[in-house]
Amino acid sequence: MPRLTALATTVALATSTLLLGCTERPPPPEAGEPADEGPAAEAEPSCDTPEVRALVEAFGEHLRAVPLLAPDSVVARAIREHYGPLVTPALLDAWTRAPSTAPGRDVSSPWPDRIEVLALTPAEGTCRVEGEVVYVTSAEVAGGGAAARVPVVLRVEGGPGAWRIGAYESAAPDPEVGAVPDDTSAAAAVEVVRRYYAAIAARDYRAAYALWGDGGAASGQSFEDFAGGFANTAHVEAEVGEPGRVEGAAGSRYVEVPVTVRARTEDGEEQVFEGSLTLRRAVVDGATPEQRRWRLYTADVARVR
C-alpha cells in the first residue's frame, strides 16, 4: 500500500579592484534605475505539470495487472513488466526482491482501477503527489462510482522527459468503506506465511513461533524445540504461491497456502522443500481479536531435493 524540483538559490557576486590602496566602487544607479542586486534567482519549476500527472495516472492504471496473490516469481515478473518504465531502478529492485511490499491487486474484487491525483507540491528536490486509489467492482464498472478509496502519497523524481516514481505509500483505508484487503481475506493469510518465513530467515524464532495458533502450541512443539529445529540452518528463502479458497467449518475458517522453501545448512548443503501450510481463524461469537486473526494451523511440507 508507497509516496520536486530543486530549490533555487541566489548567488550574490561582489567584485572589487584594488587601485592605489583604494577600493573602486561601481557608480550608483541613476535616478529611477533599479539597483543591481545580482542575477535573478532561478524560478522553481512547477510540479503541477501534465507530465507528472500522466505518469501517476498511468501507474494507477497498471495496479490491477500486478496479481499480489500469485506466486512471488509471477508477481516479480508482473512488477518488472508493468512498473518498470514508470518507477526508479531503486524502487523496482526493492519491489522485485520483496513482491509483498509492492502495490497491486490483492483480492479478486474490488480491484484498483485508477489513481486520482489530488495535489502536487514541491518537496526537497522531488514532487510529492497526494491522491486516492479508486477501487471498483463490476457494479461500479457498469454504473460508475467507487467501491472504496484509499489515500496514497507518491514521490516523483527526475525532471521533464525523465520523471519516475521513487516512493509509494498507501495509507490505511477508512474502515467505513472497507479495508482493502481486510485481515480476514486470503491475502492476509498469505501475508502471515510471508512474515513467518521472513522471521525464520532473520532468526527471530520467537516471532515465527507466535504465528502458530494457540500462542505457538499448534506447531506441536515447545518454543525451545521449535527454535532448536533451525540450529543448523544458515539461510531460508520462501516462495509463496496463490492461496486456495477460504473454507468454513465449525466456527472456523481455513485456507491453504502453497510454499516452496529453499534452505542452506551451516555445512553449505542446499535443500528444497515443497508443500503447503493451512491457516485457521475463529469466527464464533466471543472469539478474541487474536483468535480472529489468521494463524498457522498445520503444515504439510516435505523435502524434494
Residue range 104-123, pLDDT digits in tens: 987 777 889 999 999 899 98
Q: Which of 137, 170, 203 is the last residue of a domain?
A: 170
In the structure, what pLDDT confidence band is assigned to residue 10 with cuts at 50, 70 and 90?
very low
Residue 216 vs residue 45, higher pLDDT: 216
* Judgement on whether residues 271 and 295 belong to the same structural domain of the protein: yes
The pLDDT, as a whole number, for residue 94 is 94
Q: Which of 38-47, 57-66, 215-224, 229-238 has the lowest mean pLDDT?
A: 38-47
Residue 11 placed within a domain: no
Average pLDDT over residues 203-218: 93
d(CA 91, CA 78): 14
**166 and 195 together in one domain:** no
Using the 3D structure, point to which of 121, 136, 170 is the last residue of a domain: 170
List the CATH number of the domain containing 135. Answer: 3.10.450
pLDDT in tens, 258-268: 999 999 999 99
Residue with more model confidence, 188 or 271:
271
Query: Domain range holding 55?
Result: 50-170
Q: Please say if the pLDDT value at position 17 is more than 50.
A: no
* Same domain, residue pair 203 and 158: no
Residues 86 and 139 in one domain: yes
Does residue 195 form part of some domain?
Answer: yes
15 — pLDDT class (breaks 50, 70, 90): very low
pLDDT at 171: 67
Question: Residue 175: inside a domain, yes or no?
Answer: no
Counting residues of the chain whose pLDDT is more than 70, the rounded percentage is: 81
* Cross-strand partners of 136: 111
- CB within 8 Å of 246: residues ≥ 6 apart: 185, 186, 189, 253, 254, 255
- Who's near 239: CB < 8 A, 6+ residues apart? 71, 72, 73, 259, 260, 261, 262
Residue 18 lies in a domain: no
Cis peptide before 122 (omega within 30 of 0): no
Tell me: pLDDT of 74 over 60. Answer: yes
What's residue 286's pLDDT?
Answer: 85
